[in-house]
Amino acid sequence: MIKWPTFRLTKTLPPAGVAGQGLEAGVYHFDPQALALRQLRQGDYRQVLVEASAQELSIARAPATFVLTDVIWRNAVKYQAREYRHAFWDSGTLLANTLAMAAAHRLPARVVLGFVDADVSRLLDLDLERELALALVPIGATPDTSIPPAPAVTPLHLQIEPYSRHELDFPAIRTMHAASSLPDADAVITWHSTLPSLTRPAPAGPLTALHPLADDELPSDPIEQVIVRRGSARAFAREAIGFRQLSTALNRTLRGLNADFLESPQTLLNDAYLIVNAVDGLAPGAYVYHPDRQALELLKTGNFRTTAGQLALHQDLAADASVAIFCLADLPSILTSLGNRGYRAAQLDASLAAGQLYLAAYALGFSATGLTFSDDAVTDFFSPHAQGKSVMFLIALGKKRKRS
């Protein structure tokens, strides 16, 4: 059997007949080229993931658990050691689609970052020089949490298709991943006991309340159609989107996440800072979003198109977009609570928010794209409000420029 490591999903399912619809229990790899599941192991291996996650109840109850991995070279070929960020950016935007599908079908879903890395990697038989486990995502729930003992986890010795003719190594990626790994279940329990409690300052500048669309005004397209047409814009027309559209995107996406690294599903690790270039009904300027007040706080007024492009490493997309949204996190506070693994959480939290903004944009009739950025310059621009924070993600929203 050939194993095709991809930046995709691996499934574990309970015995057929519980919720598997004929798919027998086992560990599977999703092959995106063939749109097929390839069985790697036969049998119910939930107990391995339950023990690795220190008895995570959502995994014990889930008919299926997705395990996301990063094939290092696929992003490192372009981004070198900075690839470690892109691992979470890509997995977060992918997970946004997964969570949206689960919500549409009323299936409970949870993002789990607290697990024993070595145990999960052993179950998937990963080559740790080239592929890393990033997150567990249990989908669905059954009332029965009784789990049979798992079969022995033995090496698979699967043949690996070469990624390319030439492959460079960036040891810093593995060093960072190892420094943020959890060695045993006790470490997972300790990690869960110190979740960050972040405090945000009260608004000091003028507030603009959001004006989102009412439920009966929302687009009715099924999520499957939105995901199919979702992509990354290659050029924006310098045209305005409506304030109600932007309000709806913010209101519907930045409202929290069901994850084991958050105090509650109503919280996020990142704050959203905006450079507004062209939004009907909202003055151009720099803003910060207050989810608890459903309002935007004005930080500075002015036309900052040129600045947006400069902050995005001189990419015209940020300057031409209607709005550029930067996710910034208070990393010192997060790392104090969650240790080095807090960096993984901050990156994934931001990319999930951006992935949901992606979907909102395409549901509401405009476009989006994710961009790289100049880290310190972003913090400096939004300071003093953003003083001490680090930028995790940049997404630009706007109307796509039509090809001539």
pLDDT tens digits for range 30-86: 988 888 999 999 999 999 999 999 999 999 999 999 999 999 999 999 999 999 999
Q: Which residue has the higher pLDDT, 317 or 146?
A: 317
DSSP state of 232: -
Residues 6+ apart with CB under 8 A from 293: 203, 207, 209
Domain range summary for the chain, segments of one domain joined by +: 2-192, 207-398
- In the CATH hierarchy, which fold is given to the domain comprising 207-398? NADH Oxidase (3.40.109)
Q: How far apart are CA 222 and CA 354, in angstroms?
A: 20
**Greatest extent of the chain over all pairs of C-alpha atoms, in Å:** 63
- pLDDT value of residue 326: 98
Q: What CATH topology corresponds to 2-192?
A: NADH Oxidase (3.40.109)
Reference 261, options 350, 194, 198; nearest CA is 194
Task: Give the residue-averaged pLDDT of 126-142.
Answer: 95
pLDDT of residue 4: 33
Lowest-confidence region among 14-18, 349-353, 398-402 = 14-18
pLDDT at position 176 is: 95
144 — pLDDT class (breaks 50, 70, 90): confident
Q: For Cα atoms 234, 86, 164, give the angle at the middle one, nearest 5 degrees.
A: 90
206 pLDDT band, cuts 50/70/90, is: very high
Q: Where are the alpha helices (DSSP H) in 230-302?
A: 243-253
Instruction: Please say if the pLDDT value at position 402 is more than 50.
Output: yes
Residue 223: band (very low, low, confident or very high) from pLDDT cuts 50, 70, 90: very high
pLDDT at 17 over 70: no
Instruction: Indicate if 207-398 has the same CATH topology as 2-192.
Output: yes
Q: How confident is the model at residue 1 (pLDDT cuts 50, 70, 90)?
A: very low
For residue 5, the model assigns a pLDDT of 36
In angstroms, the CA 228 to CA 247 distance is 23
Higher pLDDT, 206 or 162: 206
| Rounded Cα distance, 246 and 242, in Å | 6
Other beta carbons within 10 Å of 87: 27
List the helix and strand counts (H, then E) for the chain: 14, 16
Least confident stretch, 201-205, 353-357, 388-392: 201-205
How far is it, in rounded angstroms, from Cα 369 to Cα 383? 25
Q: Across the beta sheet with 270-276, what order do the strands follow?
A: 207-209, 295-301, 285-290, 270-276, 323-329, 390-398, 367-371
pLDDT mean across residues, the chain: 91
Burial class (CB in 10 A: 0-12, 13-18, 19+), 400: middle
Question: Quick one: which of 329, 315, 331, 342 has its CA closest to 398?
Answer: 315
pLDDT over 60 (residue 187): yes
For residue 197, the model assigns a pLDDT of 82
Residue 186 has a pLDDT of: 97
Read off the pLDDT band of 165 (50, 70, 90). Answer: confident
Confidence category of residue 222, pLDDT binned at 50, 70, 90: very high
Summarize the confidence of residues 237-250 as an average pLDDT: 97
